[in-house]
A and B are shown apart, each in its own frame.
Chain A
Amino acid sequence: MSKAANSKKVAGMAWPGKVHALFRRAAIRQVAIVPDAGHAQLIRLVEADRSMRLVRLTTEEEGVALLAGAWLGGERGVLLMQSSGVGNCINMLSLPLAAHFPLLMLVTMRGDHGEFNPAQVPMGNNTQKVLEAMDVIVRRADRDDDVADTVDGALRLTFNTFRPAAVLIGQRVMGAKDFRKLANGNDNE
């Protein structure tokens, strides 16, 4: 994909606004993040929303524990990460799985459609398998206009039935980062 088309795709994504509206409707109060470029728009919307608290994590499993604590105290949260962070969460998922805590993970994919970086592939190509091996419910969206509906269903599923669920947002939705162009000094979202 050309850089122009790539940038246009990121800037023009509709799902972050729709998903932020879903968070508001679901009374989400704690939004835990390890950032990913694919989540940048949604993170900005959460930061600007006084009804939500953005919790910056140093590693993704902190968010699994944080949101268990939030639920113990009567608040709902979500956890945003990129696919590499899924690997960091695996043992901590024992907590929501054993105790039936709701947990929604929104995972932007790397090592996926059009990936440039070989280091992203081992985790990205196995993200769904690893989550499913842990009995986390996984749903996937590969088109901008499919993300919000998939998140809506997963939100209701996790909070109505008290179990961890993940939505994988395919790299096709965001467009792959082109490191060669970055190395040549071109900017990129």
Chain B
Amino acid sequence: MSNLLKRRAVVRQLLRDRGEMLVVGGLGAPAWDITAAGDHDNNFPLWGAMGGAAMIGLGLALAQPNRRVMVITGDGEMLMGIGSLATIAAQRPRNLAIVVLDNERYGETGQQLTHTGLGTDLSGMARAAGITHAVLVRKPRELADFQAIAAKGSGPAFAQVKVDPEKLPLVLPPREASYLKNRFRLSVLGKTALHD
């Protein structure tokens, strides 16, 4: 029995007391995970745009500086957009947290190994990019500590959470992208969103 954290439990804990927090879910398992925790108007789950989740979070965090923004994505997705860590560090958005659920696998395509399973230290890369609050999480206590830091809004904050490479049932969010965009904008901006 693996003592690695379970991804669905991690995401449930991150989103339990979400309040006004805005959430971007990277394509594949993280999108299913945030949906399993409860589909929400303030979720923007991705069905594509691989490598773009953290940057969507940055644009959103800059546009909504008084709301907390959390990007929840996978190790393969983060690796594809790894330069965005430098871009985010340069902007220093205090309200942005990035959580990488690192199962060291491309889970949707047959569990092929990613670079994090072959020595790449993602949280170290985030720190080296200039994100000061970048941590490796292996235990529930470390996850709670990260949540406390992210909640303070003194970010950007980054967590690489090592999770079990378990295969789980897919919990699919709506997949029509205009619908996802419009429900999110209506929730965040109100009806003026329809007249911008």
Contact = CB atoms under 8 A, between A and B. Distances in A.
B33 to A, nearest CB: 20
17 contacts: A58-B86, A58-B87, A59-B83, A66-B55, A68-B59, A69-B56, A71-B59, A72-B63, A72-B184, A73-B22, A73-B61, A73-B188, A75-B59, A91-B50, A92-B49, A98-B178, A99-B181
Contacts of B128: none
A30 interface: yes
A64 B48 CA distance: 13
A123 B181 CA distance: 32
A69 B57 contact: yes
A100 B178 contact: yes
A interface SS class = helix
Interface stretch (A49-57, A135-143, A167-175, A179-187): A49-57
B interface SS class = helix
A102 to B, nearest CB: 9
Nearest to B91: A55
A70 B58 CA distance: 8
B68 to A, nearest CB: 12
Nearest to B190: A74
Nearest to B196: A74
B84 A73 contact: no
A67 B91 CA distance: 14
A50 to B, nearest CB: 14
- A interface residue count range (under 10 / 10 to 19 / 20 to 34 / 35 or more): 20 to 34
A66 B56 CA distance: 5
A61 B60 contact: no
A63 B83 CA distance: 12
Contacts of B52: 61-62, 64-65, 68, 92, 95
A56 B60 contact: no
A65 B49 contact: yes
Contact of A30 (B51, B59, B196): B59
Interface in A85-129: 91-92, 94-95, 98-101
Given A30-B63, A57-B83, A69-B59, 12 more contacts: A53-B62, A57-B87, A58-B84, A58-B86, A62-B55, A62-B84, A65-B59, A68-B59, A69-B24, A69-B58, A72-B60, A100-B178
